[in-house]
Structure 1
Amino acid sequence: MSKWTSAIGIAVMIAFLSMGGTVRAADDTTYSQNEILAKAEGFFGSTTKGLAEGIGKVFKDQGQPVGYIAGEEFGGAFVVGLRYGRGKLNRKLGKPQQVYWQGPSVGFDFGGNVSKVFTLVYKLDRPQDIYRRFPGVDGSLYVVAGVSLNYQQAGKTILAPIRTGAGLRAGINVGYLHYNSEHSWVPF
């Protein structure tokens, strides 16, 4: 074997190994679908078919998240609505971070609900970037119990809240959620 062939072989091996390192580094900062299903099961107490399908849809649409928010919220509406919540932002690197959210909505929406919320977080470079307004369109139907899913986006960051709730709330609305580091009753 010539020196030239050996050099090419070593260069190819180094390139191959460095690509594998890049793939592993990406996996170290994102959650797989199985990891998220396990986290959701721990949070909700069990995994229903609807919840598993919702998580599967988000993974199909968005890929692997860099984090998730596990929390609870309550809200109500009669044409104009309000929503308040709190939870913890979890990322693979770093400790959980407290997050509060609140926001108004308007639309054909009525009723009230209390929900557990498991939000998948995408393209969030720094944890503090979560603290801003995320507009969204929400269509919900909670009758005794159910699962709803919508997307919210601000800049390149995408949130996918998955809600399981109890109460009677039905409709479709447009609004935003403002995520903060401190609780506030002011929804704007």
Structure 2
Amino acid sequence: MARPWLTTILAAVAAFFAYAAAPAGAQSGPPGGSYSSNELISTGHRFFGTVSGGLATVIEKAVAQYGQPNGYILGEEGSGAIGAGLRYGEGTLHTRDQGQHRIFWQGPSLGWDIGGEGARTMMLVYNLPAVGAIYNRFGGVDGSAYFIGGFGMTALVNNNVYVVPVRAGVGMRLGVALGYLKFTPTATWNPF
């Protein structure tokens, strides 16, 4: 039986984190170090391929809300949840002035969430002062509602560095969960 009080609490927490994670206005990265919407959309179309129909809309929404990122990650991930969940992924961090770096992520989640997915992921990274700043835990709220496939966008934050994952997933997922992603330079099974 569904617990409406739990859904209400999770919705309130999700709204709080969405408000807290959103910068006051659009920001731009360091001069010469940021990526334009057109560059991101072009890269996303090459990366996501034939499933990239809604990509431009999602990226334009992210850029309108957060500004131009000074880095992005392209990778793949898998996740699953029955109330509590886990997510694991790997990819490459791209920056203009600090090069490309292999990166891994993993993290737990807890909430009203059920299902599993495999996703190609493009993460927009904002206010990254140095590559080492990405190797932290980035917390936020993830909401998913799709059957078979779809695009989704969330926002994660650690201090003033924002990571906005844009996922094109395949699977079944429904719910809202609190969690974090921990980024590491090497693969690990430990999500904590």
- TM-score, shorter chain, exceeding 0.5: yes
Aligned partners of 2:49 and 2:186: how far apart in 1? Answer: 27
Q: Which runs of 4+ in 1 moved over 6 A?
A: none
- Structure 1 segment 46-65 matched on structure 2, within 5 A: 46=50, 48-65=52-69
Aligned partners of 2:111 and 2:84: how far apart in 1? Answer: 7
Partner residue, 1:18: none
Instruction: Give the TM-score of the pair, scaled to structure 2.
Output: 0.82
Partner residue, 2:115: 111
Matched, 1:98 2:116: no
Instruction: Quote the offset at 1:95 in angstroms.
Output: 2.3
Contact 1:133–1:176 (CA under 8 A) maintained in structure 2? yes
Q: Which runs of 5+ in 1 are unaligned?
A: 1-22
Contact 2:44–2:52 (CA under 8 A) maintained in structure 1? no
Instruction: Quote the offset at 1:42 in angstroms.
Output: 1.2
Aligned partners of 1:74 and 1:48: how far apart in 2? Answer: 19
Contact 2:77–2:89 (CA under 8 A) maintained in structure 1? yes
One of 76, 79, 85 as aligned partner of 1:75: 79
Higher helix residue share: 1
Aligned partners of 1:182 and 1:164: how far apart in 2? Answer: 24
Q: CA RMSD in A?
A: 1.4
One of 169, 179, 186 as aligned partner of 2:183: 179
* Residue type at the aligned position of 2:47: F
Matched, 1:41 2:45: yes
Aligned partners of 2:50 and 2:101: how far apart in 1? Answer: 24
Q: Secondary structure of the equivalent of 2:54?
A: helix
Aligned partners of 2:57 and 2:106: how far apart in 1? Answer: 27
Aligned partners of 1:87 and 1:141: how far apart in 2? Answer: 24
Q: Greater Rg, structure 1 or structure 2? A: 1
For residues 73-114 of structure 1, what are the alpha-carbon distances to aligned partners after superposition, in whole Å with 9 as ceiling and x for unaligned?
001000000000011000112321011000000001011100
% identical aligned pairs: 40
